[in-house]
């Protein structure tokens, strides 16, 4: 090999190593096979018990993983409580009085620390709990990619700015997904997570009473659905009253979210926007495919969850394995 082509090869290898380090973490589904072989089973059983006590819990656990990954990557930072060194993401407005399920993660961590001390990260527990939640609610299963390590910092500002807001128009939603390496298909597919769970009246009151400053309801809302929502969320009433994100099957992970969008029955503005941008738009077309083909939705959802789980994962000797998911380890 000439010295010139040798230099080119070095540059190429360096570029590829950097590129793949930055965009695709070195995760795999067998990471704990020898060090903590029962971890997936333990997570599934604990989520199942939590679901039997509270049918909403799978939704809350799925959302925890999403809110973890969009802020500092999937590093368990969302689980950190306030301390002298941590300004907790839990107190940021998109999370405050909204995120749920922390106690379930604590139970998993306690059991896993007892069986395999110092081995399983809190970030991986969140990824496993999200998969268990979706499959226990009736959705797809997938081989969760593992080997993430836990971050030692939280990002309160990132929790305010990186997370999509229900008031965001479609271009902003796309930009927030693109900023973490997720594309438009991931956006329309992962929004299907809203086939389970609840949202507070505060997330929709503008749609009901003052859409875009018009003092009118959002014209994209079906009239009878609007009447139902207005009855549950009266103008000036309690903003913390909850609504089903999927009005038909609120605790079942199915494709009815997309059928609802086609009927102008998406709860959040950010949901209905996916369908209202134009009938030939790729969002509307993809949502239409999912509305008529649940298998297509399930297959895409599993792939997009793996994409989301790759965001900024710490591996190797980066970060740490926290002993308590709420605290960084003592130095």
Separation between Cα atoms, residue 296 and residue 286, nearest integer Å: 10
Q: Which is nearer to ligand HEM, 152 or 270 (CB)?
A: 270
**Interaction of residue 197 with ligand HEM, rule CB under 6 A:** yes
251 annotated to bind ligand: no
Separation between Cα atoms, residue 225 and residue 265, nearest integer Å: 6
Residue 81 tokens, joined? 């409580």
246 annotated to bind ligand: yes
# residues near ligand HEM by CB under 6 A: 27
7 annotated to bind ligand: no
Nearest-approach distance from CB 235 to ligand HEM, in angstroms? 18
Separation between Cα atoms, residue 108 and residue 64, nearest integer Å: 14
Stretch of 6-14, 186-194, 208-216, 286-294 lying at the interface with ligand HEM (CB under 6 A): 186-194
**Interaction of residue 188 with ligand HEM, rule CB under 6 A:** no
Q: What are phi and psi of 54, to 5 degrees?
A: -150, 100
- Do the Cβ atoms of 264 and 224 come closer than 8 Å? no
- Residues in 50-69 at the binding interface with ligand HEM, rule: CB under 6 A: 56, 59-60, 62-63, 66
**Interaction of residue 173 with ligand HEM, rule CB under 6 A:** yes
Q: What are phi and psi of 226, to 5 degrees?
A: -55, -45
The residue assigned the tokens 């008529």 is 292
Where are the strands (E) in the chain, listed by range? 198-200, 242-244
Other beta carbons within 10 Å of 292: 12
Stretch of 25-33, 110-118, 163-171, 288-296 lying at the interface with ligand HEM (CB under 6 A): 163-171
Separation between Cα atoms, residue 283 and residue 104, nearest integer Å: 34
Instruction: Identify the burial level of 144 via C-beta atoms within 10 angstroms of its C-beta, where 0-12 means exposed, 13-18 middle and 19 or more buried.
Output: buried
**Interaction of residue 270 with ligand HEM, rule CB under 6 A:** yes
Nearest-approach distance from CB 152 to ligand HEM, in angstroms? 25
Quick check: is 67 catalytic?
yes
Q: What are phi and psi of 89, to 5 degrees?
A: -65, -20
Shortest CA distance to 81 belongs to which of 73, 72, 90?
A: 90
Stretch of 38-46, 120-128, 144-152, 196-204 lying at the interface with ligand HEM (CB under 6 A): 196-204
Other beta carbons within 10 Å of 212: 13
Pattern 271-310, ligand HEM, x by CB under 6 A:
----------------------------------------
Nearest-approach distance from CB 31 to ligand HEM, in angstroms? 22
Applying CB under 6 A, the residues found at the interface with ligand HEM are 56, 59-60, 62-63, 66, 98, 100, 164-166, 168, 173, 187, 190-191, 193-194, 196-200, 203, 245, 268, 270
Binding residues for Ca(2+) are 68, 71, 73, 75, 77, 89, 195, 246, 249, 254
């Amino acid at each position: 090999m000439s010295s010139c082509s040798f230099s080119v090869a070095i540059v190429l290898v360096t570029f590829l190593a950097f590129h793949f380090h930055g965009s695709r973490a070195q995760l795999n589904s067998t990471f704990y096979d020898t060090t903590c072989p029962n971890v997936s089973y333990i997570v599934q059983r604990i989520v199942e018990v939590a679901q039997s006590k509270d049918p909403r819990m799978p939704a809350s656990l799925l959302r925890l993983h999403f809110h973890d990954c969009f802020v500092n990557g999937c590093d368990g930072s969302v689980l950190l409580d306030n301390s002298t060194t941590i300004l907790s993401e839990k107190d940021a407005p998109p999370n405050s009085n909204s995120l749920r399920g922390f106690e379930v993660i604590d139970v998993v961590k306690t059991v896993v620390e007892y069986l395999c001390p110092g081995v399983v990260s809190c970030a991986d527990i969140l990824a496993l709990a999200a998969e268990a939640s979706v499959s226990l609610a009736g959705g797809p299963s997938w081989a969760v990619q593992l080997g993430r390590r836990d971050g030692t910092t939280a990002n309160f500002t990132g929790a305010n700015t990186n997370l999509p807001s229900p008031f965001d128009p479609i271009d902003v939603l796309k930009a927030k997904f693109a900023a973490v390496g997720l594309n438009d298909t991931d956006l329309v597919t992962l929004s299907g997570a809203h086939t389970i769970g609840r949202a507070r009246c505060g997330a929709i009151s503008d749609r009901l009473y003052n859409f875009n400053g018009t003092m009118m309801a959002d014209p994209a809302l079906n009239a009878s659905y609007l009447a139902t929502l207005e009855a549950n969320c009266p103008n000036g009433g309690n903003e913390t009253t909850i609504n089903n994100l999927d009005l038909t099957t609120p605790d079942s992970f199915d494709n009815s979210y997309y059928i609802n969008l086609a009927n102008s029955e998406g709860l959040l503005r950010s949901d209905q926007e996916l369908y209202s941008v134009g009938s030939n738009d790729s969002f509307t077309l993809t949502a239409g495919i999912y509305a008529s083909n649940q298998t297509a939705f399930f297959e895409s959802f599993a792939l997009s969850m793996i994409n989301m789980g790759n965001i900024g994962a710490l591996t190797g000797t980066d970060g740490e394995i926290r002993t308590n998911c709420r605290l960084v380890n003592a130095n």
